[in-house]
Structure 1
C-alpha cells in the first residue's frame, strides 16, 4: 500500500514540477521514505528528480535564463554540504530521517510565505547540498536565497531547475564516491521512469491552467499539507 502511494506521490510531484520548477521531492520524498529504506529512496529521488528537471528545461518554448553566477556559487557551496549529508544519511536511523523529510516539507510551506529573506549564497548552498543527500528536499534554502535577491519569478524558476540538475549530479558523486550506496529496486525504478515522464506531460497543461485560474497556491498548499501528514504517519509506523 505504501509503495503504491509513493508511486502516486512521485507522479503528482512530476506534474507539479512541470509547471513551477519546484515541488517534486516535496511530494515524493515523504511517501518514498515511508515506503522504502532511506538510502535507496535518496538514490531513486536523485534519478527521478534529474529526469523531471531535464524534461522541464527541454520542454520550455523559450531559452531558460537562470542566474549564472548565482547558480555556480550555490553549487560550489553545495559540494561540501552533499558530502556531509551522506554521513548524516548513513548515521541516522530511518525514523529520524523520515521526520527530517517531513520537517523539510514544513519548511517549504513556511518559505513560500516569505516575501523577503536574507539567506547568503554560502548558507543556502551548504544547506541545499546537505539536504540533497539526506532527505532530497533541497528547495527551501535555494528558494529563500532567491527570494531575498528580488529576482523575477521566471529567473527563480529557471535558476532552481538548473540548480536541481546540478545537485542531482553532486548528490550522485557524493554517494558513490564515499562507498557503495544501497540501490532502489530495479523494477520500481524502471516502472517510475516512464510514469514520471507521463506525469510531466500531463502536468504542463493541467497545472498551467490551474495557475491561470488563481487556484494554484491553494492546491499546492493542500498537497504539501497532505505530504506532511503522510510523512508523520510514516514516521510513526
Structure 2
C-alpha cells in the first residue's frame, strides 16, 4: 500500500512538473513526508526532480535568460549551506509553518493583482531563499514562482526558467547533502522504483503543456501555492 501511494504521488507530480515546469517538489514533498523520514523524503524528491529537469532541459534551454539564471544560481549557492544547517538544528514542523504562512500571504497579494518590476536585487534574494528552501525542505519553487508571477512572466519563460534553475540547484544540493548529512540506501532504492512512473508522467505532461493557456497556467500556480501552504499548516497543526 505504501508503494502504491508513493507511485501515485510521483506520477501526478511528474505530470505537473512536465506540463508546467514546476510543481513536483511543491506537490510531492508534503505527501512524501507522510511516508518517509524528513531527510529521506526530501532527498527522494531531490533525486526525482533532478531526473525530470535533466530530461526536459533540452526542450527549454533556449527559453530562459542566462544572466537571470546566473544571478539566481549564484545566490542559491549561498543559501544552500544555510538550509542544510537549518535542516540539522530546526524542527521541520516549525520551518514548514513559517513557510506556509509566508506563502499564503504572498499568494493572496498576487491574487489581488499586486505586481512588481524584475530587478537584479530581487533575483539575488529569490535565488538565495530558493537555495535555502531546496536544501532544508526540498522545495525551491515557491519563491521563484511568486517572483515570476508578480513580474508578469509568460508561461514559456516561467517553464524554461524554473526547469533550468532547478537542474542546477538540485544537483548542487544533492552533492552538498551527501557530503554533509549523508544519504541512506532507501533514497536510491525508491528513486529507482519510481523511474518508470516518472517517465510515464513525462510523456503525459509533454502532451498537456501545449493545451495550457495563460489563464489556466496562472490559476495552477496560485492553486498550487495555496494548496501546499494550507497542507503544510494542517500537517503541522493536526497530523
- Identify the TM-score tier after normalising by the shorter chain: 0.7 to 0.9
- On the 8 A contact 1:73/1:122 being kept in 2, the answer is yes
**Aligned mate of 2:172, from 170, 173, 176:** 170
Report the Cα distance in structure 1 between the residues aligned to 2:106 and 2:97, rounded to whole angstroms. Answer: 14
Higher mean alpha-carbon deviation, 134-143 vs 184-193, is at 184-193
- On the 8 A contact 2:20/2:217 being kept in 1, the answer is no
Higher mean alpha-carbon deviation, 22-31 vs 5-14, is at 5-14
Report the Cα distance in structure 2 between the residues aligned to 1:223 and 1:203, rounded to whole angstroms. Answer: 16
State the SS of the aligned residue for 1:134. helix
Report the Cα distance in structure 1 between the residues aligned to 2:232 and 2:6, rounded to whole angstroms. Answer: 11
- Pairwise CA distance, 1:175: 1.0
Higher helix proportion, which one?
2
**Aligned mate of 1:91, from 89, 92, 95:** 89
- Residue number in structure 2 paired with 1:153: 155
Q: 1:101 to 1:15 in 2, by over 3 A?
A: farther
- Pairwise CA distance, 1:51: 1.2
- Residue number in structure 1 paired with 2:146: 144
Describe the superposition over 1:100-123 as per-residue Cα deviations: whole angstroms up to 9, x where unpaired. 675576478547635523571221
- Residue number in structure 2 paired with 1:201: 203
Report the Cα distance in structure 1 between the residues aligned to 2:33 and 2:102, rounded to whole angstroms. Answer: 13
Unaligned runs of 5+ in 2: none
- Residue number in structure 2 paired with 1:13: 13
Q: How does 1:1-237 map to 2 (within 5 A)?
A: 4-58=4-58, 60=59, 64-99=62-97, 102=100, 106=104, 109-110=107-108, 113=111, 116-117=115-116, 120-147=122-149, 149-182=151-184, 184-206=186-208, 208-209=210-211, 211-212=212-213, 227=228, 230-232=231-233, 234-235=235-236, 236-237=238-239
Report the Cα distance in structure 1 between the residues aligned to 2:34 and 2:103, rounded to whole angstroms. Answer: 14
Higher mean alpha-carbon deviation, 41-50 vs 87-96, is at 87-96
TM-score (norm 1): 0.81
Q: 1:63 to 1:85 in 2, by over 3 A?
A: closer
- On the 8 A contact 2:43/2:187 being kept in 1, the answer is no
- On the 8 A contact 1:16/1:207 being kept in 2, the answer is no
Higher mean alpha-carbon deviation, 188-197 vs 160-169, is at 188-197
Report the Cα distance in structure 2 between the residues aligned to 1:106 and 1:7, rounded to whole angstroms. Answer: 28
**Considering only aligned residues, what root-mean-square deviation do their CA atoms show, in Å?**
3.1
- Pairwise CA distance, 1:166: 0.6
Q: 1:147 to 1:95 in 2, by over 3 A?
A: closer
State the SS of the aligned residue for 1:121. helix
State the SS of the aligned residue for 1:142. helix
Report the Cα distance in structure 2 between the residues aligned to 1:69 and 1:46, rounded to whole angstroms. Answer: 24
Describe the superposition over 1:124-179 as per-residue Cα deviations: whole angstroms up to 9, x where unpaired. 11100000011122112223333455544322221111100011112113212324
Report the Cα distance in structure 2 between the residues aligned to 1:3 and 1:178, rounded to whole angstroms. Answer: 28
